[in-house]
Amino acid sequence: MATKKGRRRPAGSKSTSRASSAGGADATRTSSPIDEMLLAALERGDDSFETGRFLVTFKEGAAEEGLQSLGAQGMRVADARDFEGQAADLEAVGDADAVVFPEIGVAVVGGASAQERSMSASAEIAADSPVESIDPEHFVFVAGTPGEYLRSFAQEAEANPNEYLRGFLRAAETIIKDLREAGQPQLQVEEEAVALGATWGLNACRVPQSTRSGAGIKVAVLDTGMDLGHPDFTGRLPVGQTRSFVGQPVQDLHSHGTHCIGTACGPRAPAGSTPRYGIGFRSSIFVGKVLTNSGSSVDGSVLGGMNWALANRCEVISMSLSGRQSPVPAYTAAGQRALNNGLLMIAAAGNEALPAGAPANSPTIMSVASLDSNLRPSSFSNFGKIEIAGPGRDVFSSVPRPTRYGFKSGTSMACPHVAGCAALWAEASPILRGIALWNRLRATARPLPFPASRVGAGLVQAP
């Protein structure tokens, strides 16, 4: 967890009272725990996926002016730069009314604080304001879930909206159980993987043929954390490169994050007969826990992880998570700031067989679709704004001990294939950064006989 070093109090800032919700407790504080906000949403009977807080996106180059403007409105403002490595966990900001992430030019504002100042998504923004957009914050979930399963939840939600969010809270555990019980088809894939010495996904991406290792490239994986004691990653997870943004230890009790990191950065030669499942085996791993152990989160925590990854100049930032809203200006701004700094954000398109979700649907973030082992689009994979595709069905990778290895399916699994290959390309040339890396990944992708709305430029390939 981040170590708080202090709090910036802009000149003119002052204490303000915070409005309470109808129930007397304000679950929309800047520091509110994610589970508290989810329960409050359930009590409201709200199926909007909104948390009650707001995201303020500043105009490019206006983050400092924006920070000052929040202070001038009487807000207590926390600055991510006052936290070690800019790793600002929202739950650790105390009584702050707002938290500013300077690297990406975004602030998270508590619901009551925003209400006191008539700050809302419909508020008129003056032409000379440093603010570009004010938007509601939403909940976010892991994007490693089979689409058929989520669609059943959507159908259930239409009949009973109050159960919708509650269902997502249970989703992660149920999905893991489903995958463990999947049976023979997974065993067949495992046998094939062992015979070939590498997973089908790595073979499809031509990773074993590549001479690159990702050496010298920082890869940030923003997810549910990592099993910090996994033997395949001994010595590769320095304390300074692991941070939590959700009020929980980085240790992964879900397994989604450990699986994604395994694909993007796992070892070239795991012990025994275990097939190779990792791509950037010498890349520097940055573990940002932005999803809780139940697989849920909010935009603010994801944006905190993005800000941290930019502050550490991670050349590749992989995000296997998705919300179901329209493009979010704050994510678009973060993606643009990354490109401006020669970095690349990559995100899973989502698994509802619907248009790509956020943050992948932002024009500045590379959106990844899923393929099965026949190189056909996965039935669950979202579509529309898709830049590239990766192996996402029955993917073998690392999971927390004592199991160590397992299979998962989803665009979450396709995303780290692209991130790992991006690290290999970035190692190949110092000019392959940011938008140049984006273009190279697309230019070298293997064309597939499907619409670009399903697979983008095609299957990602290693250099």
> How large is the C-alpha radius of gyration of the chain?
21
412 is catalytic: yes
223 is catalytic: yes
Strand pairing category for 77-79 and 98-101: parallel
Residue-by-residue pLDDT tens, the chain, 463 positions: 333 333 443 333 333 333 334 444 688 999 999 988 988 888 887 778 899 999 999 999 999 999 999 999 999 999 999 999 999 999 999 999 999 999 999 999 999 999 999 888 888 898 999 999 999 999 998 864 433 334 444 444 444 444 444 544 444 444 444 444 343 333 334 444 444 589 999 999 999 999 999 999 999 999 999 999 999 999 998 888 999 999 999 999 999 999 999 999 999 999 988 999 999 999 999 999 999 998 989 999 999 999 999 999 999 999 999 887 799 999 999 999 999 999 999 999 999 899 999 999 999 999 999 999 999 999 999 999 999 999 999 999 999 999 999 999 999 999 999 999 999 999 999 999 999 999 999 999 999 999 999 999 999 999 9
- Determine the Cα–Cα distance for residues 282 and 312; give it in Å rounded to an integer: 18
Whole-Å CA distances, 342 to 127, 417, 428, 438: 30, 20, 15, 10
- Determine the Cα–Cα distance for residues 422 and 330; give it in Å rounded to an integer: 24
Q: Kindly name the residue from 97, 223, 232, 252 that is annotated as catalytic.
A: 223
Q: Kindly name the residue from 138, 230, 254, 256 that is annotated as catalytic.
A: 256
Q: Are 387 and 356 in contact (CB under 8 A)?
A: no
Q: What six digits make up the tokens of 28? A: 């929309």
> Residue 353: beta bridge partners?
none
> Residue 316: beta bridge partners?
219, 344
| 297 sits in which H/E element | strand 296-298
Q: Are 448 and 378 in contact (CB under 8 A)?
A: no
Phi, psi for residue 140 in degrees, rounded to 5: -135, 150
Q: Kindly name the residue from 244, 255, 412, 417 that is annotated as catalytic.
A: 412
| 421 sits in which H/E element | helix 411-428
User: What residues contact residue 239 under an 8 Å CB cut-off, 6+ apart?
Assistant: none
82 is catalytic: no
Coil, helix or strand at residue 329: helix
